[in-house]
Structure 1
Amino acid sequence: MAGIFQNMHRSLTLHGLRRLFQPVDSQRACSSASPRLLYVAASCLPYHISGYTARTQEVLMALRAAGADVLALTRPGYPWDRADKLCEATATHTLVQDVEYTHTPRPSNRRFLLHFAAAGARVIEQYAKANNITRIHAASNHTNALPALIAARRLGLPFQYEMRGLWELTRASRQPEFENSYNYNFGLEMECLVATQADRVFVISEQLGQFVQERWGIESSKIHLLPNCVDVERIKPNTACAVQPNTIGYAGSLINYEGLDTLIDAIRLLGQRGGAVRLHIIGDGEARPALEAQVCALGLQSHVHFLGKVTPDESRAHLGQCSLVCIPRKPFTVCKVVPPIKLVEAMALGKAVIVPDLPVFRDEASTKAVFFAPGDAEDLAQAISGVLQDSNRLNKLACAGLAHVQARRQWKHFVKSLMS
């Protein structure tokens, strides 16, 4: 019986969405003498602090710095419909540095996807008309992108999708039973639908681009790379005298696939061998209680410090004081195709990095990082020890990473393609 209802839900949703993709007129409803981009994001600072919101902020700041005329709109209903928001929303506009985000209280995301997409599209369509938008750009995931896509089609405007990852793969890494469930397959089908309908698809990594080409047959001609980058004018290395010796830093979400349990085990092994290494863990998440319990059980309270959730600037300040940065992700599918923004930020801070031997890390870091076997605490301990005991190697890795970011991973080199 469940299968019958699931098939009905899938068929009705797909049929309804495809009807909504039909343009209202053959002529564009919005016109402007100069291009104006509407950037639609699923979440933003300060309501959520994550790699997603940090990337959104960085992209928008880089677009403005490049002279682009861009307006930022969060997903309809956000942040009011998110129970996990860090602060209450008191207005329909939020200014973060020089980026202004506009919010619309309705519709709430707590409804069927088809109903939300239809109602959300009307909100975005009205906003685009009122502000003479000429192009609509939406970031992951499909729930955020579908209303924007429908609005663009109704207005006859170009639509581009920024695929930062696949939420279904992320959830499967945390809940193995979710993989190949109805919601897993339905979510990926919605991602395929958005990517297929988009005029251009911007992917966060070459591996993700290959994934969507091979799995969904997306034409390579409309796939473009928009990798994690930095603004080197704002993110700069600390002076050597400010660095605390034998310290390892991690900043990000505390969830299972990040592999922090492996890193803590490596700290235990180093301690058993006489290595006085300290680990600073910046961030929060569902795995924190288990990680803190692991630290207590191993008697590592004086070696492992949990600093909690802080602002992006505070996080960079903490990492700047560490000898190196470790990103110990596990070998889940999502970790093989989606790179964390914390990798290029660590390089921009002039930090040597230790990362798992997974495709996205090999592609990004190559000879500019130390690699270890994913999930292997012994191999990770040896990698940490080898770098911390060799100051010349530590400095060479730091310099190589910084040079790579300066030459190939600056936002200003990529964001102009969003307007071209």
Structure 2
Amino acid sequence: MTRILHVLDHSLPLQSGYTFRTRAILKAQEEVLGLDVRAVTGLRHYAPPVPDATDGQGAEVLDGLHLWRTSGDLNGAPGLREWREVRKLADRIEAVAQIWRPDVLHAHSPALCGMAALRAGRRLGIPLVYEIRAFWEDAAVGNGTGSAGSWRYWLTRQLENRVIAGAAAVVTICDGLKADLIARGVAAQRITVMPNGVDLALFGAPLPRDPALAEQLGLGTGPVIGFLGSFYPYEGLDDLIAAMPAIVAAQPDARLLLVGGGPAESALRAQALASPAAAAIRFVGRVPHHEVDRYYAATDVVCYPRKAMRLTDLVTPLKPLEAMAQGKLVAASSVGGHRELIEQGVTGTLFAPDDPAALATAMAGLLGDRAGWDERRRVARAFVERAHDWGCNVRRYHPVYQTVLAMDAVTTTIAA
């Protein structure tokens, strides 16, 4: 049985789009492809160990997944800190490899994970597959923790290019990222697209609306516009709040339900409080992952008003697919990442980004014409089942692993 060791920035029990995609990949590789799968996380995984959840080899066992951790602290001057981080993770990968002999290292961005895996793989003689979920220099710009053109932005990009050059194969999550890599000079045949997906075993059976929860939240009879996710500046939730007065003018009973939290939360709450539509806006805060379905069930339309920038144009998000699987209508800004997932008027509604008036017009039109809602829900759900079910998508990894193992066998034979 082929053994795959995944190298991760962080994992369960932390909850993020990163960890949910990771869980889905590892589970599907085991259950669909029949692979033997383990993972190791770097120093940025900050969750404390789960008591009594070890497998006898030093790995935590969470949700049936075996996860080794890297111990140590993130300290030191910038540059030196990251170099130490890579070294510690590389050492940990090598130690794990002595315990559990993997056939392939499969590192997931950021590039620090890729660099650690590349270093360890060369010492161990194990091929590397590098998977890019986003360009983290662009993510830093979107999160407000970095700036385009800075030395850190340039250095992160160069580090990623180095990992890509050293990897036996490259995987990305969407066509936008693939096109950018090709423009950098990466050969198209080295890149496999592994789209974001949904585990329909988790998101495939939508709950009915809970009247008690709706009453508790003061949602009335609706319609309810929802957003469930992290409150980063690039998500454009300020534009959604700015659009609410015009939406309420067209649909007086409309409510906005915001579930989650993040860096932009305090500014968004202040904006909502000052809005003429303040009475129609509800903040819930973060909720446990196992309760998310209840809040999806309370919404009619889930809205993703992402702002236009490199990050949102290149990267496809996971959340719209989850909403479609939940049988919800989807509305989103027409940035490149959304256009890969949403067909205007077929699987969702698109509107111009960074434009609250355009958002309000699109939303008022959607809320005011319910005749096609059931058909759009059906078509969107079928789209997820056909093109974004992890049980199907994970099969794309099989030829990637076969190719790198064959390449490794040839290299070993020549060296001998």
TM class by smaller structure: 0.7 to 0.9
Residue 317 of structure 1 and its aligned partner are, at CA, apart by 2.7
* Aligned-residue offset at 1:177: 7.0
* Partner of residue 37, structure 1: 4
- Name the counterpart of 2:305: 328
Residue 223 in 1 paired to residue 215 in 2?
no
Q: Tell me if the contact between 2:206 and 2:327 (Cα under 8 Å) persists in the aligned partners.
A: yes
1:234 matched to which residue of 2?
202
The equivalent of 2:412 in structure 1 is none
**2:32 matches 1:72:** no
**Correspondence for 1:49:** 15
Take 1:353 and 1:285, find their aligned partners in 2: how far apart are those partners?
22
CA distance in 2, matches of 1:312, 1:72: 22
TM-score calculated relative to the size of structure 2: 0.85
* Structure 2 CA distance for aligned equivalents of residues 226 and 177 of structure 1: 27
Change in Cα spacing, 1:392 to 1:240, as seen in structure 2 (3 Å) is farther
CA contact (8 A) 1:347 1:401 kept: yes
Aligned equivalents of 1:278, 1:348: Cα separation in 2: 22
CA-based RMSD: 2.1
Task: Output the amino acid matched with 2:23.
Answer: Q
Matched, 1:151 2:128: no
Secondary structure of the residue that 2:35 maps to in structure 1?
A: coil
Does the aligned pair in 2 maintain the 1:43–1:78 contact within 8 Å?
yes
**1 CA distance for matches of 2:85 and 2:204?**
42
> What's the CA shift string for 1:273-325, capped at 9, x where partnerless?
45321111111111000000001111444321112122333223311221011
Q: State whether structure 2 residue 361 is matched by structure 1 residue 392.
A: no
Residues 237 and 398 of structure 1: is their aligned pair in 2 closer, same or farther, counting only changes over 3 Å?
farther
Q: What 5-or-longer segments of structure 1 have no aligned partner?
A: 1-33
Sort the Cα spacing of 1:50 and 1:404 in 2 relative to 1 into closer, same or farther, 3 A.
same
Partner of 1:133: 102
2:328 is matched with which residue?
A: 351
Which among 146, 158, 174 is matched to residue 205 of structure 1?
Answer: 174
Corresponding position: 1:61 with 2:27? yes
TM-score (norm 1): 0.85
Distance in 2 between residues matched to 1:221 and 1:114, nearest whole Å: 31
In structure 2, how many angstroms separate the alpha carbons of the residues matched to 1:99 and 1:118? 25
Q: Secondary structure at the match of 2:290?
A: helix
Q: Does 1:379 align with 2:346?
A: no
Q: Is 1:264 matched up with 2:248?
A: no
Partner Cα distance (1:241, 1:112) in 2: 49
Aligned equivalents of 1:41, 1:97: Cα separation in 2: 16
Q: 1:172/1:78 Cα in 2 relative to 1: closer, same or farther (>3 Å)?
A: closer
Alignment of 1:113-132 (within 5 A): 113-132=82-101
Aligned residues: 378
Give the deviation of 1:137 after TM superposition. Answer: 0.3
C-alpha distance in 2 between matches for 1:247 and 1:278 = 5
**Contact 1:270 1:276 (8 Å CA) reproduced:** no
Residue 49 of structure 2 aligns with an amino acid whose one-letter code is A
Cα distance 1:107–1:120, how it changes in 2: closer, same or farther (>3 A)?
A: farther
Residue type matched to 1:282 in 2? V
The runs of 5 or more residues in structure 2 that have no matched partner are: 52-57, 212-220, 403-416
Give the 5 Å matches for 1:232-381.
232-238=200-206, 245-366=222-343, 367-381=346-360
Q: Deviation per CA, 1:354-404, whole angstroms, max 9, x where unpaired? A: 011122211221231100000111111111111122222222221111000
Does residue 189 of the first structure (1) align with residue 158 of the second (2)?
yes
